[in-house]
Structure 1
């Protein structure tokens, strides 16, 4: 298969899907002033090439679970196999290889009443060290700007779905069947979802609308930043003075290079992912933006070598 490249229309289609990942292609086409088939063909090409896919997840708030940020120091020759094994686990939500293959980072979900299941990882002969810290809170309420800068303000207004009401709902048996299917393909058609979960299309349509309206279900479009022209990604672990934690997190979340910010337990109380054009841009980000944050006591960086899993079935 030929290498995938993105043109201006591809970027607009992806931006539209970031606004509403289940928007009908006809609605996207109208906003972009192109044919329906053109939009469907563009996304179909990217999905078939593995360059983009829509996934879904549910926050740990709604599953009654907690999230653990797990750091594994591993033998470099074992990192790819170990990462793939972690990605297959239903309790992992994010798996990435770091520091040239000497580390693996993952988010692992566990019951609030029990510790994370780390014993089997600690016994693995290719894992040299295991560290786990609670991910206390996600602190970024916007998407990374590198994925969402292709549309005009009018196009964004035409495509943005109505705001949810935030009403809490209780997950049920249908959700436990539906959510793993949506995690695999967040744009799966209603007939396909009905076939996979064994419920009627009308019931699935109503439930999906409820999940989205309540902000229980979160849809996302996975795109490799390298395709967007960003070749340097880095995991940042920051130790911030407690009195400056909230202000530092807000400033960090506002940086255009920032793709994620979270508060954690442990000696580093903030974690972030920075995505930059190249190594020179990453250096400038670390020295200028991060260096100017008030309250930073210590910074540890780990280049992201590859992503093995970004989202996972939640139940």
Structure 2
């Protein structure tokens, strides 16, 4: 991201509002921020048009029976990490891809139909297998929190309640059978993937339905846990300059407890239980490098049953929520 990019205090609070509710109207956002609606609408749209901020609709693949998630760690031959990450990001199955520092060189989340597809995606479909010296893949078996649920902490509780009246977190396992989406629902989801703030009128016109029908379809998808909205932005814009992935090996009897504890921590964006050597994977954020030691000692060190902890720092993220991220931190437009 260009170092010249600087946001005002209103901009940062506006980004925080969209993180809470990416489809909130500018009227709602203005009310939550206590700012003039015309100013909020003008500046909010400028941030979106610049690519610094974006909103995308993402189908929950587990809820919809579309596949499973794998967290992948790769070691690469010297100098090959960027090319391997780029090749991974080109795969339609890749939801998240980042170059990291530490015990791995590249980390990714890949969504496949089932675990039998792992070899096809990570070996057969990658054009540079010789650049990868080691691969470790872990199936996500339980999600404790997701990035779209994260609260930046920049807004007052009253503002949060206005933007997210139903609470900060939604359940990830309050269902037993996957939902079966109609072709119309898939069409709406594709449109919202390209523009998560598309109006009901725009969705209706593109799908050939009434505006009220489009609204009902979207509301139904959200209520059933099928569709979630993700706000995309570089966190350093709001003062959180260190993105990291924490990989933990936890005693099985403490896994639920540790996952639930970490999900509540303000630095946590995402945490899930996985198979493999590390059975807990976390995405976190901190203001600066000086905060890492306290996090490792006071947060990770206080967790019960942790047998091993490994932290990798995100150096460059190429893909978030299936959306390609440019080297300057702006998002690529989805056709």
TM-score range, shorter chain: 0.7 to 0.9
Using the alignment, how far apart are the partners of 1:207 and 1:304 within structure 2? 37
Deviation at 1:122, TM superposition (A): 8.7
Query: Are 1:144 and 2:144 counterparts?
Result: no
Deviation by residue 1:41-74 (Cα, 9 ceiling, x = unmatched)? 2222222333211112121222311111122222
Q: 2:241 aligns with which of 214, 231, 235?
A: 231
SS in 1 for 2:249: strand
Using the alignment, how far apart are the partners of 1:4 and 1:140 within structure 2? 30
Q: Which stretch of the first structure deviates more once superposed, 208-217 or 264-273? A: 208-217
1:48 is matched with which residue? Answer: 49
Give the alignment's TM-score, normalised by structure 2: 0.82
2:220 is matched with which residue? Answer: 210
Query: Are 1:69 and 2:71 counterparts?
Result: yes
CA separation of 1:154 and 1:237: change in aligned 2, threshold 3 A: closer
CA separation of 1:77 and 1:176: change in aligned 2, threshold 3 A: farther
Question: Are the equivalent residues in 2 in contact too, given 1:122–1:129 (CA < 8 A)?
Answer: no
1:92 is matched with which residue? Answer: 94
List aligned pairs for 1:182-197, cutoff 5 A.
Answer: 182-194=192-204, 197=206
CA separation of 1:302 and 1:100: change in aligned 2, threshold 3 A: closer
Q: 2:135 aligns with which of 130, 155, 175?
A: 130
Count of residues in correspondence between the two structures: 310
Deviation at 1:290, TM superposition (A): 0.7
The alignment yields a C-alpha RMSD, in angstroms, of: 2.8
Using the alignment, how far apart are the partners of 1:162 and 1:231 within structure 2? 30
List gaps (5 residues or longer) in structure 2: 324-335
Question: Are the equivalent residues in 1 in contact too, given 2:64–2:226 (CA < 8 A)?
Answer: no
SS in 2 for 1:114: helix
SS in 1 for 2:278: coil
List aligned pairs for 1:212-291, cutoff 5 A.
Answer: 212-291=222-301
Using the alignment, how far apart are the partners of 2:198 and 2:82 within structure 1? 29
Using the alignment, how far apart are the partners of 2:146 and 2:135 within structure 1? 30
Using the alignment, how far apart are the partners of 1:101 and 1:295 within structure 2? 22
SS in 2 for 1:233: strand
Deviation at 1:111, TM superposition (A): 1.4
CA separation of 1:113 and 1:272: change in aligned 2, threshold 3 A: closer
CA separation of 1:7 and 1:266: change in aligned 2, threshold 3 A: same
SS in 1 for 2:185: helix
1:153 is matched with which residue? Answer: 157
Using the alignment, how far apart are the partners of 2:256 and 2:166 within structure 1? 29
Deviation at 1:179, TM superposition (A): 1.9
Give the alignment's TM-score, normalised by structure 1: 0.87
2:113 is matched with which residue? Answer: 111
CA separation of 1:125 and 1:233: change in aligned 2, threshold 3 A: same
CA separation of 1:86 and 1:201: change in aligned 2, threshold 3 A: farther
Question: Are the equivalent residues in 1 in contact too, given 2:87–2:127 (CA < 8 A)?
Answer: no
List gaps (5 residues or longer) in structure 1: none
Q: 2:307 aligns with which of 275, 286, 297?
A: 297
Using the alignment, how far apart are the partners of 1:104 and 1:270 within structure 2? 18
SS in 2 for 1:63: coil
Using the alignment, how far apart are the partners of 2:104 and 2:115 within structure 1? 32
Question: Are the equivalent residues in 1 in contact too, given 2:184–2:207 (CA < 8 A)?
Answer: no
Question: Are the equivalent residues in 2 in contact too, given 1:18–1:221 (CA < 8 A)?
Answer: yes
List aligned pairs for 1:154-169, cutoff 5 A.
Answer: 154-162=158-166, 169=179
Using the alignment, how far apart are the partners of 1:100 and 1:238 within structure 2? 14
Deviation by residue 1:70-111 (Cα, 9 ceiling, x = unmatched)? 222223533333323322322121111111796211111111
